[in-house]
Structure 1
Amino acid sequence: MTGTSPEHDVLIIGSGAAGLTAALTLAEHKRVLVLAKGKLTSGSTAWAQGGIAAVLDAGDTFEDHIRDTMIAGAGLNRRETVEFVIEQAPRAIARLVDLGVPFNTDDAAGASLHLTREGGHSHRRIVHVADATGWAVQSALVKAAEAHPNITLLPDRSCIDLITGKNEQRYSGSGRVWGAYALDAATGKVEAYTARATILAAGGAGRVYRFSTAPRGATGDGIAMAWRAGCRVSNMEMMQFHPTCLYNLEVKNFLITEAVRGEGGQLKHPVTGHRFMPDYDERAELAPRDVVARAIDDQIKRYGLDYVHLDISHLAPEFVIQHFPTIHEKLLGLGIDMTKEPIPVVPAQHYTCGGILIDLAGRTDLPGLYAAGECTESGLHGANRLASNSLLECFVFGEAAARDILSRWDEFDPPPPIRQWDESRVTDSDEEVVIKQNWTEIRRFMWNYVGIVRTTKRLERAAHRIKLLHGEIEDYYGHFRVTTDLIELRNLLQCADLIVQGALRRHESRGLHFILDYPGMLEEARDTVLVP
């Protein structure tokens, strides 16, 4: 496919909360194409157990939610972004209710939404669908998108790179983005999908780490593609680790939601039974995630443990089952009854707080390119994301990007003729083992050297490994036909590089970036902005 795709006006990469919110807003007036790497429901949105934060309680205020977000973000947040997102939150919830998301309510009539509380929040303000909010939201969005005549959803498309001026048949150095090249997993063919405007909503980079709660596809594709095309990225060293991921060698990345601690769960040493969080912070289990994750990491390293215990068995079984039905059922299948015994947990990478730099309209540095959700750094999360602000960011920025495109539509020219993907000099790979080996190596050294607690020496070791792997992977990429695994490996390495570069530049410990060489916090909070 060359030139324009006359049947679509806007291309959206990613089918999670941010991408589908944008698609539904745009589809009122434009024709939209949504590309998903795997199934339409395979992104992080469907995995979000917790909920969505919004000021809906009588005693709560926007100012309180803004303050809680700024405190969690260790002052690195941009206040205008925090205000913008939090003031839009009640409207975002109302739209989801209209879409049919069955949020838990306090009364039989369903008039008032049930609000729970999570670490770092000063009020109950989390709306939820039991402990499977993300799945309910994703299902509602997909259903609405599938029913809309102006939206085309294409699963199993792995985007390789953005199409820019340099891919025009008449080369241009404009940096203007015209869409993306993507691999069709079924046919193995690479096609050029062009549009007047493109929105990246491709999720985070969690799979850079050995232990992660992110789905398998969270390989930082959007961040890496934007960087290669010329976008700045910011604060990539701010990787959030969720304190409580189930420790089970058979089941990878099953998350035990923050709300288990919010409702009274306690963290204990697995041998002595000592409740250790009060030793680290007066807020105990309700301290922000980075504090709790570092405490667990310290216990594990200090005592040579594989995991710690999260115990909520002192509460009534009916209460536990009613609040956490999904987790209770999943654990029972693994032989753990959380109403009677503790749950073994370890910290795991959970959320990418940095990413592609965007403004309040979701605009990136490149004309024609917008971004929303976890692949971005909007200024909302700062040095640490407050629980349940992530889905909220997706709805607010997905809509903001769509509204900006609609309001400026006359500025977007139709795409010029674009060069086809060139496969003339490559062959099929004869050694897939290279990809598997490199993937494993990256995730292991990132976990060991660029994890919850860092040192300059470890970061330099990681940087050295990345340099060696860059040559190897680029050589492989140049010689063999692309596969989804190869695309992901290339993007993983690029994101690992950006994380390490960011971490080496930040000479302080702030929020999620804790480095033993610089344990103090500088007076001025500054973003780590990397320029390609």
Structure 2
Amino acid sequence: MTTDYLVIGSGIAGLTFSVKIAEKYPDRTVVVVTKANEDESNTKYAQGGVAIVLNKEEDSFKKHINDTLIAGDGLCDKDIVELVVKEGPDRLEELLLWGANFDVNDSGKFDLGKEGGHSEYRIVHHKDITGFEIERALLSKAHQLPNISILPHHFAIDLVTNHHIKDVQSDKISCFGAYVLNQKNGEIFTIKSNNTLLASGGIGCVYGHTTNPIIATGDGIAMAYRAKAHIKDMEFVQFHPTALYEAKGESSFLISEAVRGFGAYLRNKNGYRFMPDYDDRAELASRDIVSQSIDSELKKSGESHVFLDCTHLDMEAFINHFPNIYNKCLEHHIDLNTDWIPVVPASHYLCGGIDVDKNGKTTINNLFACGECSRTGLHGANRLASNSLLEALVFAHNIFKYHAENQSKALEVAIPDWNDEGTVITQEHILIQHNLKQLQALMRDYVGIVRSNKRLKRAIKHLDLIYEEVEDLYRESKITTSLCELRNMINVAHLIIRQSLDRKENKGGYFNIDNVK
């Protein structure tokens, strides 16, 4: 298959770019590859909203910029922060034109929310399913454009680079598309493209306990890493402080930060409200501080979770604002009128990723990255709540602008077919599952919220053993999605551990006990 633009991922980042470029150039083709249903992405599960300065009387760009810089703990790129924050209102206007709906108050103005780390009310939201609503609107718009083809249940295995093509003579690595697995029939084919955008989402499943969907296996970052792109700030894994605790330890349902913004309290099992002991902002401190505080409480008590108390809140207003959360709690026999919600930190968001410039360009020619898989400089050491959807919108727009101003030349190269000669259909699925569970337990136990050099070094040794076993299996076996995902997660784990060892000072979401002076 040949296309003008190949987009890997169908969340807010990939779809925003696809819609913009397809509208501007109706004679050019866009192919969107996504490994699950077309609407399955981290975007779909984003509850809180989009942080945008709209109330200029009380709020300002300067305040939003300052809040972002404080959360990022000195590691944000200030120019990028200013760029993203100031573009917010224009990007919101586009979402509205494309049919996205956001909550308004009785006076007809946006019902702005407030979350941890924000000094003002500036979160535009749709109930507690903002991401779901944005995803719906973007897909609806994409389906109206005949030059966009969406390929659900197609898995991108690897990027095609100079490494695969013998007659390309260049010191600079270029991307020529990707090898893609049709998960329905097992066929592996090539998508050749002048421009490739990685918009493949996050890495939560590397930890197992995560607020992310099961597709968040770091595929784009791993592909870019194997292609020799620059990957940065992988040590900054943000743990959401309040995921619904489930004894089975499966993917966790997110209890939005906005619930604490609404006035909920964190308590230990004895009912003690502990957050004022750790930070003057109490429950509205940034996520890294709240997560580390909960981790400290759990280590002191030996308990598996703490509690979020909403019993003192106006429950009618709460249900109107958070109907999805209220109903989910009822499913778990938690009545928020009388019961506290058991919560625990869970892997939530990666602040690092594929290093890009302001136009979303990676260090590889013709390869761009956007959304959670990218490292733009906006988040620094810790993402400010609800800045991620904004970042995806702004950088998708910047990448679109770059393409509109810089026409790429058609790539005249012959790409070889995928070669799986000598491989067999594996009967050893137990090896994949066993290694996956080992990897996830390793990351939770040794590379979690609070780290140490001893645990990180041991993690590397254990990871090397898992890596060798999985690579042997990969060389012998026909490609499957689960095998590729495991291989990608091992690459991501390696990056997180190595870059954690390289960091010699604690910043934002990264805390190593050996760095405490």
TM-score under structure 1 normalisation? Answer: 0.94
Residue 37 of structure 2 corresponds to which residue in structure 1? 39
1:245-282 deviations in whole A, cap 9, x for unaligned?
00123563100000110010000012x11111111111
Indicate if the aligned counterparts of 1:89 and 1:396 stay in contact, CA closer than 8 A.
yes
Distance in 2 (CA, whole Å) between partners of 1:460 and 1:166 is: 32
Q: Any runs of at least 4 consecutive aligned residues in structure 1 with deviations exceeding 6 A, and if so which?
A: none
Give, in whole Å, the separation in 2 of the partners of 1:139 and 1:194. 28
Task: Give CA-to-partner distance per residue, 1:387-427, whole Å, 9 cap, x none.
Answer: 00000111111111122122111x33234211000121211
CA displacement at 1:37 relative to structure 2? 1.0
| 8 Å Cα contact 1:316/1:339 also seen in 2 | no
Cα separation, partners in 2 of 1:130 and 1:389, compared to 1, 3 Å:
same
Cα displacement string for residues 437-473 of structure 1 (whole angstroms, at most 9, x for unaligned residues): 1110111010010000000000001111111222111
- The Cα offsets for residues 175-233 of structure 1, whole Å up to 9 and x where unpaired, read as 21011101100010111011110000001111110311111011110001001111011
Aligned residue identity for 2:256: T
For residues 316 and 171 of structure 1, what CA distance do their matches in structure 2 show?
66
Shift of 1:474: 1.2
- The aligned counterpart of 1:255 is 254
Give the drift of 1:107: 3.0
Unmatched segments (≥5 aa) in structure 1:
521-532
2:15 aligned residue (20, 41, 57): 20
Identity of aligned residues (%): 44
Q: Deviations over 1:481-524 (max 9, x none)?
A: 1100001000000000000010000011111110001125xxxx
Note if contact 1:368-1:412 (Cα within 8 Å) is conserved in structure 2. Answer: no
Asked if the contact 1:177–1:366 (Cα under 8 Å) also holds between the matched residues in 2, the reply is yes
Q: Which residue of 2 aligns with 1:312?
A: 310
Are the structure 2 counterparts of residues 481 and 355 from structure 1 closer, same or farther at C-alpha, using a change threshold of 3 Å?
Answer: same
Q: Distance in 1 between matches of 2:316 and 2:286?
A: 28
Amino acid across the alignment from 2:446: Y
Matched residue of 1:267: which SS?
strand
Write out aligned runs for 1:190-201 (5 A). 190-201=188-199
Equivalent runs, 1:461-472 vs 2, <5 Å = 461-472=458-469
Instruction: Tell me the equivalent position of 1:267.
Output: 266
Quick one: distance in 2 between partners of 1:254 and 1:115?
A: 23
Q: Is the 8 A contact 2:33 2:151 kept in 1?
A: yes
Residue in 2 that maps onto 1:182: 180
In structure 2, the residue matched to 1:523 is none
Q: SS in structure 2 opposite 1:115?
A: coil
**Quick one: distance in 1 between partners of 2:87 and 2:478?**
45
Match of residue 485 from structure 1: 482
The residue number in structure 1 matching 2:507 is: 510
Q: Is the 8 A contact 1:74 1:511 kept in 2?
A: yes
Residue 340 of structure 1, CA deviation: 2.1
1:295 corresponds in structure 2 to 293
- Aligned partner of 1:524 in structure 2 is none
What CA distance in whole angstroms lies between the structure 1 residues aligned with 2:83 and 2:316? 39
| Aligned mates of 2:326, 2:268 — CA distance in 1 | 22
- The aligned residue for residue 526 of structure 1 is none
Aligned length: 511
Q: Which residue identity lines up with residue 113 of structure 2 in the other structure?
A: T
Q: How far, CA to CA, are the matches of 1:143 and 1:425 in structure 2?
A: 43
Equivalent residue runs for 1:369-448 within 5 Å: 369-409=367-407, 411-448=408-445
Query: Matches of 2:432 and 2:169 in 1, distance apart?
Result: 34
CA distance in 1 between counterparts of 2:34 and 2:53 reads 32
Distance 2:253 2:400 in 1: 33
* Separation in 2, partners of 1:118, 1:191: 45
Distance 1:131 1:415 in 2: 48
Root-mean-square deviation (Å):
1.2
From 145, 149, 153, the counterpart of 1:148: 145
Find the residue that maps to 2:371 and give its secondary structure: coil
Structure 1 range deviating more: 369-378 or 318-327:
318-327
Contact 1:423 1:481 in 2 (8 A): yes
Q: What is the alpha-carbon distance in structure 1 between the residues aligned to residue 412 and residue 466 of structure 2?
A: 36
Task: Tell me the SS of whatever aligns to 1:67.
Answer: helix
Query: 1: CA distance between counterparts of 2:163 and 2:287?
Result: 43
Aligned to 2:223, the other structure's residue is in SS state helix
Q: Counterpart in 1 of 2:357?
A: 359
**Partner residue of 2:78?**
79
Give 2:35's aligned amino acid.
Answer: K
> Aligned-pair distance for 1:150?
1.3
Other-structure match for 2:470: 473
Q: Which amino acid aligns with 1:32?
A: V
Structure 2: state its 5+ residue gaps: none
Q: Structure 1 residues 497-506 or 245-254, which shifts more?
A: 245-254
Shift in Å, 1:306: 1.2
SS in 1 for 2:511: coil
Cα shift at 1:377: 0.6
Aligned residue type for 1:252: S
Hey, what's the Cα distance between the residues in 1 that align with 2:235 and 2:163? 30
SS across alignment from 1:27:
helix
In structure 2, what is the equivalent of residue 335 of structure 1?
333
Helix, strand or coil: the match of 2:513?
coil
Counterpart residue identity of residue 77, structure 2:
R
- Corresponding residue number in structure 2 for 1:127: 124
Q: Which amino acid aligns with 2:351?
A: C
| Alignment match, 1:228 | 226
Aligned to 1:55: 53
SS in 1 for 2:149: strand
SS, match of residue 517 in structure 1? helix
Shift of 1:171: 4.8
Distance in 2 of aligned mates of 1:283 and 1:446: 30
User: Would the aligned equivalents of 1:169 and 1:417 in 2 still touch at CA under 8 Å?
Assistant: no
| Distance across 2 between alignment mates of 1:466 and 1:474 | 12
The 3-state SS of whatever aligns with 1:183 is strand
